[in-house]
Structure 1
Amino acid sequence: MMNKGENQHGLFLANNGNYDDLHFFIGRNKELQFVNSILYGDPSPTRIINLYGLAGTGKTFFLQKINYTLTNQKGKFFYVDCKRFAEDSTFIHSSLVEKIIENTQQNFDAEYAQPVVIAFDHMDDNSHIEAWIRERVFIEIPDHVYLIFVGRKPLRRIWTASPSLQKKMKRQEIKKFTYYDVKLYLEQHGIHHSLIYKLWNFTKGHPLALSLLCSKLDHQQQSFDIKEQFDVIQELVDTFFSEYVHDDQIRKCMEIASVLHYFNEENVANIGEREIPSPIFDRVISLSFVKQGKNGWYLDEFVRTIMNLYARERNPKRYEDISKRAASYYRHKIFSDPHPNYLELYISEYIYHIGDNMIAASFFDQYSLKSYEMETGHSRNFHKVERYFETRKQHVSEYEVEYYHKQDEEKYAFQVSAVHNKKENELIDVKALKALGYDIFKLLKDDSGEIIGLSIIIPINKETIPYLKEMPVSRSYFTRLNEEELVDYSVEGKNKAGWFIRMIDVKNPEETSTRSYMLFSLLPLLLSGGVIICSTPLKMYQELLKRFGFERVKGSTHFDYGPNTPSPTYLLDVRGPRLVGYLDHLAYKLQNKMRLELPKKAFPFSPREFEVAELIMEGYKNAEIAEKLSVSQITIKKHVSSLLKKAEVKNRAQLVRRLLDFVKNKN
């Protein structure tokens, strides 16, 4: 970084350096404002600035920017690279402190002086220096000197436990780039615009990853394969592995953790099929890229992606085995009387691990850099709902965004025309919807409290059916219900027969993780024990509904979005015991990795009964099976009754579960 005054111990004392690279410095406005407010703002007791962040996020480059700013303002900047300190630093202890005192006290005038800063970089890489800084440097240097401590993790408890030090210290995380930072960075490097989404979705704004990939791309290049950049993946993995190099147990634990969204000692031990020693797990969760959430610990999403790719390329079979064991683990959790608070997590993880790339790309991209909060509508925040739709009407545009499955290099385009958005604004009657209850609206807020998305999910019951029969988009389905179906749906009071998903919308379509979070928030509906109904003309939504096992309802296609825009209606029934059969059938349907062959010796079925059983597992109904086998429905009912008796189960859902268990065990 700085190149003046370096000695043999890796010590830099300089106010100038090579600033050519600062031409590529982008973003970081929030972080710069934070530092400048301390160095140039009103007097405050703050004397220590702690900058921390994931390896490769450009912390050293950020220090160079601070140095440049200070130099232009006639301030003084001292840089100490802790990574290059010798363990026996007696000489450095005395020479550094003396040099700093000498340089910071010369011609010092408190009223007119510019800031003086000492930056200690790579604090994590030298366990010997921390005590010395607290015992010597912090005490002996003049009061007008600011200390900047930089590392992968925030300063340890020995700093924060002291009330006096707490008053003198402020922290700031150096995060990855935003989407707009990435876009600007790639434009500055002349990268073709067609690669911006792909590079953003892969790197999620990780500066080192962007730099390495940009160095390998030609300006005219319009495509590239991440898997062919294994040297980049290797360098990134080495960067993160440096925290626990040469420890095989930790590496194996991390290999499993990279497959999971959340991990703890139990699931790592079960999926890894061996106990994890507590000291090893303690070391794992102390790593800088491991965070703790409400469901356990999790890897930074970019680190997880890189380690995932690395594991798949190095040992594909072992990776596949871990993935299959993860799916089996969560399936067992779902069906073993789980705590209600965790059932949503188990189902979402089960769906993820059974392996549909489109679902993974569109629903699970929400495990990202941002924190979101879903706020239920009520009388006090309804003005925000009205404002959201007012803004939506003022900014009608078309857009196309792409969702990427990072590991398999598959992308899925989500296209919405301006005509559709304009028509949707016309069809949504906010005041009329309010009559169904404020709580049908869900507002998505980012970490600053800004409303960035909105959903409308309408409960189906006696009170809402009259409106659903009149409302555009829903009326095509609800007006065709027969008396028996209307009775089933017309439940009283606060009960719900199901849900009608009317709208999923985001303020900024280019932020794919926002829509992903909105879609992910729908998964709890699977636990509602009712029907889930949706109608949409958007092709990607239609494909997602089909992959989730929704069935297209005959006779319910409408043209509310325009005479040339057919909008089918889809339905999923998870009432009563159907959920168990649905999840197992979904697993079989999505995995599509093995040919369905029931072990012939497992059940005393006749050849025709085996045919019927296989079609039942593939989701066919009695009428469809009868048509496919060219027999009557009465014959199929008899076969089903015989299957239930021979399999020793009570209903169709239990039969599917039993049969799929045998198929999975066989494979």
Structure 2
Amino acid sequence: MTTEHRHLRSAYQQQAPDEAGLVGREKEMRLFAQLLTTPSSSLRIVNVHGTGGIGKTALLAEFGRMTRQSGIPYAMLDSRLFSHSPAEFCNSLLRSLNAPTPKRTLAGQTALAQACGSAIAKASDRGAFVLAIDTFEECGELEQWLRDDFLNCMPEGLILILSGRFALKPAWHAAPPWERMIYRLPIGDLDYEATRAYLHRCGIDDEAAVHALWTRTRGHPLTLTLLISTSLASLEQESRSVDEEAMFGHVVQTWLREVPDPATREIIESAAVARYFNQEMLEQLMARPVPTDQFRSMISHSFIQRIDRGWLLHELLREAIAYDLRMRKPDRYNRLWRRCMRYYTNKLKRSARSRSVSLDNADFLYYIGNQFIHYIMYKQWVSSSVEPLGPSNREEAERYVARRKQTAKDGVVPFHNQDGSMTTFLISRRESLLVLGQIRLQELYELGHGCVKLIRNGQGEVCGLIEIIPINAHTMDYLLTAPLSRAYFNALPGKLRQELAVAAPGKSGYFVRTLDVYDFSDFTMMHASLSTLISHILSTGYIVAAPIGNPVSNAICSSLGMDEVTEVRNLDYDGVTSAAYFVMDTRGNRVHDYVERMVVSFGGEEERDGEAALSRLSRREREVVERVMQGRSNMELARDLYLSEGTVKKHLANIFRKLEVKSRAQLIRKVSAENAAHPGD
């Protein structure tokens, strides 16, 4: 085993059941062990929370090992891997339990939750069951449904682990019965003794070195894990203090330079540009075969997580590596970005309106938006959450609107273009006040649950608000008569309006009435509000927005591929200001037209026509091409790849057809030209 692998695997994430467990988490494991061995008929909730890279997922893995070792069933869901709707959550849980999933047309949210409760009861044989939800802070408005509806359908004896960056919101503690059910498990950096124990397991026993490493990292597990495998581990500690974020970035850059070999480093950098990855996807991004041994070497690192869609780099590491690549090699970064876009474009087309379409949409929109959306959305991690308006937060929403009206002012939103130039968008106080004057909290709350959504920052404060109305038969009368929406919906042809008026609770689309944040120049707030908006964009087929017409709102709508409606406008903001409507129609096969239009707007059409030839081939076909480039005969190809000559000829025929060549000579010329056009890919 290499030094790299020994360091990365030795202590941060223990694998063998006879080892002593995670270093520095003994208190948490003792509490969890006590829960496992103490029968209870009541629901028990364990809230694990701490900052990124602190080891929450590793702790959940240890909890899972302890649970299974005790003979208790265990299931874990990661909120990054399903869209945040009750139906997707329940179906993901049922699939993890190998239980049948009810047909969506026949099963409402309550029926799905009851099906989950029955499946858990069956799996546990009426005994204990442990359900863990990782990255809980990203559940958004699903959180309220889980708390108020889902848990009421669960059998006795359930232990629910909610793991995320933040402690549970006050609503979880509002009622005394809930307060007694919740066990708080905040986890932080390793203390000095835990850091020493960790380093001893890694073979670092010198006390001065231990002290220097602890001082440098303050016991942050992920930083420590990377640092000890680089030359930085042997440097004397500087006397000056170092910013924690800057230290982590420095460690990541050093690790990339020193630890992986060049080929593995290239694979890791490509994986950092992708949201999720597998071997086949990386081969398409890099336009060359990725040897299985190199891929397995990369995914052996403890900071790479196995998920049902492939593998996932730790988000802090992914951001740091992607940022470093973007700064050092912008052309290569942009080329990888475009190939990711094409990959998810094709995937979206194949899966349109299927089980996984909402996740594919999120991936697609992450890559497809133009420079404005990329700039706002570039930082992938933002501390925020979303929740629907309800009795428990109504007063907060009213205070938010009142405070916004009192403090509204002219604002400037700077936008840095990729060519280094800068554009500024101006938002006037008057425009903000006109938007705030149209907010209708009470009537939209009465219209339907979820029509108003509140955005909270990492400190739990309301920092934004979105009014977004589902389009169906129940809401159509309101849309036809209410300010901002009435002009558009009355102008619709009768047939289209009838098509959109689907039976509730179904929806044909959304009308985006208001998107407001406390400070438009705060990109954390903008990121949170746009993330909420984007999560609705392609989940249904028809989106209508009625922004007041300031440059930021128009840029957002245009960036998302919405078309400005020229036939009708509204004067509802003040009776004078003419505001446009923006529309996106992705119903049925229209989604393909939308996708292609967005690909072209980003420059992806050129990438598709001129992308590296090998990216169109399967992994086995690329292995054949690689050996053809080396001058191998069919017989030698068959021997190298353990294939028959007939199979080799079939592969070559498929390659010739896909790359539009007629001979080995033409194939070699085409691939050579492509390699020359994209050196270092």
TM-score w.r.t. length of structure 2: 0.50
Structure 2 vs 1, CA of residues 552 and 339 (structure 1 numbering), >3 Å: closer, same or farther?
A: closer
Would you say the 8 A contact 2:599–2:605 is kept in 1? Answer: no
1:332 is aligned to 346
CA contact (8 A) 1:268 1:276 kept: no
Shift in Å, 1:256: 0.7
| Amino acid of the structure 2 residue aligned with 1:496 | K
- What is residue 512 of structure 1 aligned with on the other side? 523
**What is the identity, as a one-letter code, of the residue corresponding to 1:579?**
V
Distance 1:264 1:597 in 2: 24
Summarize the Cα distance change of 1:450–1:300 in structure 2 as closer, same or farther, 3 Å threshold. Answer: farther
Q: Which residue of 2 aligns with 1:425?
A: 436
Higher RCO (C-alpha under 8 Å, 6+ residues apart)? 2
**Alpha-carbon displacement from aligned partner over 1:91-148 (angstroms, at most 9, x marks no partner):** xxxxxxxxxxxxxxxxxxxxxxxxxx989999999986634659x999xxxxxxx995
Change in CA separation of 1:415 and 1:471 when aligned onto 2, cut-off 3 Å:
farther
What's the offset of the Cα at 1:275?
3.1
In structure 1, what is the equivalent of residue 603 of structure 2?
A: 591
Which residue is 2:11 aligned to? Answer: none
Q: Secondary structure at the match of 2:412?
A: strand
CA distance in 2, matches of 1:278, 1:448: 44
Q: How does 1:204-283 map to 2 (within 5 A)?
A: 206=246, 238-242=253-257, 244=259, 247-272=261-286, 273-275=288-290, 277=292, 283=298
Residues 1:409 and 2:442 aligned together = no
Does residue 1:365 correspond to 2:378, yes or no? yes
- Change in 2 beyond 3 A, CA 1:236/1:561: farther
Matches within 5 A, 1:92-171: 130-131=204-205, 150-151=216-217, 154-155=220-221
3-state secondary structure, aligned to 2:464: strand
C-alpha distance in 2, partners of 1:499/1:594?
33
Answering whether residue 321 of structure 2 is matched by residue 308 of structure 1, we say no
Taking a change above 3 Å as real, the CA distance of residues 303 and 430 of structure 1, as seen in their structure-2 partners, is: same
- In structure 2, do the counterparts of structure 1 residues 477 and 561 end up closer, same or farther at CA, with 3 Å as the change threshold? same
Q: Which residue of 2 aligns with 1:557?
A: 569
User: Residue 507 of structure 1 aligns to which amino acid in structure 2?
Assistant: Y
For each residue in 1:574-593, what CA deviation from the matched residue of structure 2 results, as whole angstroms up to 9, or x when unmatched?
11221122212321233276
Contact kept? 1:502, 1:534, Cα under 8 Å? yes
Tell me, in whole angstroms, the C-alpha distance in 2 between the residues paired with 1:553 and 1:122: 64
Contact 2:370 2:601 in 1 (8 A): no
Are 2:548 and 1:548 equivalent residues in the alignment? no
In the TM superposition, residue 542 of structure 1 has moved relative to its aligned partner by 1.6
Deviations 1:482-527 (A, max 9, x none): 4333322333321223211011222333321321232133233343
Maintained 8 Å contact 1:243/1:287: no
Q: State the secondary structure of the residue aligned to 2:514.
A: strand
SS of residue matched to 1:467 = helix
Are the equivalent residues in 2 in contact too, given 1:468–1:475 (CA < 8 A)?
yes
Aligned to 1:567: 579
Distance 1:279 1:378, change over 3 A: farther
Task: Tell me which amino acid in the other structure corresponds to 1:553.
Answer: V
Q: Which amino acid aligns with 1:489?
A: L
Which residue in 1 is equivalent to 2:593? 581
User: Hey, what does 2:90 align to over in structure 1?
Assistant: none
Q: Distance in 1 between matches of 2:597 and 2:52?
A: 46
Identity, % of aligned positions: 22
User: What does residue 103 of structure 2 align with?
Assistant: none
- Distance change in 2, residues 1:257/1:396 (3 Å): same
Q: In structure 1, how many angstroms separate the alpha carbons of the residues matched to 2:499 and 2:579?
A: 25
Q: Which AA in structure 1 matches 2:534?
A: L
Q: State the secondary structure of the residue aligned to 1:473.
A: coil
Match in the other structure for 2:492: 481
Distance 1:238 1:591, change over 3 A: same
Deviation, 1:241, is 2.6
Partner of 1:448: 459
In 1, the alpha carbon distance for the partners of 2:582 and 2:416 equals: 25
Q: Using the alignment, how far apart are the partners of 2:247 and 2:210 within structure 1?
A: 32
SS at match of 1:570: strand
CA distance in 2, matches of 1:387, 1:292: 43
**Separation (CA, whole Å) in 2 of partners of 1:451 and 1:490:** 33
Between Structure 1 and Structure 2, whose CA radius of gyration is higher?
Answer: 1
- Assess, with a 3 A threshold, how the Cα gap between structure 1 residues 283 and 259 changes in structure 2: closer, same or farther: closer
SS in 2 for 1:464: helix
For the 8 Å contact 1:123–1:130, the answer to whether it is kept is no
Q: Name 2:483's counterpart in structure 1.
A: 472
Tell me the alpha carbon deviations over residues 421-455 of structure 1, each in whole angstroms, 9 at most, x when there is no partner. 22222222222222212311222233433322221
Deviations 1:211-243 (A, max 9, x none): xxxxxxxxxxxxxxxxxxxxxxxx898545345
Distance 2:475 2:410 in 1: 32
Question: Does the aligned pair in 2 maintain the 1:237–1:310 contact within 8 Å?
Answer: no
Q: Could you tell me which amino acid in structure 2 is paired with residue 346 of structure 1?
A: D
Deviation string 1:523-577 (CA, Å, 9 cap, x unpaired) is 3334334311011112232233234332222332223334663211111111122
Of residues 446, 468, 474 in structure 2, which corresponds to 1:463? Answer: 474
Deviation at 1:253, TM superposition (A): 1.2
Query: Does the CA contact (< 8 Å) of 2:269 and 2:321 recur in 1?
Result: no
Matched, 1:384 2:396: yes
Counterpart for residue 497 of structure 1 = 508
Distance 1:130 1:508, change over 3 A: farther
* Separation in structure 2 between the aligned mates of residue 129 and residue 436 of structure 1, nearest angstrom: 64
Q: Name the TM-score, length of structure 1 as normaliser.
A: 0.51
- Confirm or deny: 8 A CA contact 2:338 2:607 kept in the other structure: no
In structure 1, list runs of 5 or more residues that go unmatched.
Answer: 1-49, 55-116, 139-145, 160-173, 178-204, 210-234, 599-666
Which residue in 1 is equivalent to 2:448?
437
Does the aligned pair in 2 maintain the 1:354–1:587 contact within 8 Å? yes
Compared CA separation, residues 346 and 429, structure 1 to 2 (3 A): closer
Q: Secondary structure at the match of 2:341?
A: helix
Conservation of the 8 A alpha-carbon contact between 2:471 and 2:500: yes
Deviations 1:577-633 (A, max 9, x none): 2112221232123327649999xxxxxxxxxxxxxxxxxxxxxxxxxxxxxxxxxxx
CA 1:488–1:458: 2 relative to 1, 3 Å: same
CA distance in 2, matches of 1:505, 1:241: 41
Aligned partners of 1:429 and 1:455: how far apart in 2? 11
Verify the 8 A CA contact 2:348 2:361 in the aligned structure 1: yes
Aligned partners of 2:449, 2:192: CA distance in 1, in Å?
Answer: 55
Counterparts in 2 of 1:514 and 1:352: CA distance versus 1, 3 Å: same
The answer on whether the counterparts of 1:285 and 1:291 sit within 8 Å (CA) in structure 2 is no
For the Cα contact (< 8 Å) 1:402–1:413, is it kept in 2? yes
| Deviation of the 1:270 alpha carbon | 3.9
Q: CA deviation at 1:354?
A: 4.6
Q: Is the 8 A contact 1:462 1:492 kept in 2?
A: yes
1:75 match: none
Partners of 2:205 and 2:357 in 1: CA distance: 46
* Residues 530, 575 of structure 1: 8 Å contact kept: yes
Flag the 1:240–1:402 CA change in 2: closer, same or farther, 3 A: farther
CA 1:332–1:482 in structure 2 vs 1: closer, same or farther (change >3 Å)?
A: closer
Given that residues 416 and 422 in structure 2 are in contact (C-alpha distance below 8 angstroms), is that contact kept between their aligned partners in structure 1?
A: yes
**What corresponds to 1:643 in structure 2?**
none
Aligned partner letter, 2:481: E
Aligned length: 405
Between the aligned partners of 2:467 and 2:275, the Cα distance in structure 1 is 27
Give the C-alpha shift of residue 367 in structure 1: 0.7
Opposite residue 380 of structure 2, the aligned amino acid is Y
Secondary structure of the residue aligned to 1:367 is coil
- Aligned residue for 1:503, secondary structure, equals strand
Tell me what 1:524 maps to.
535
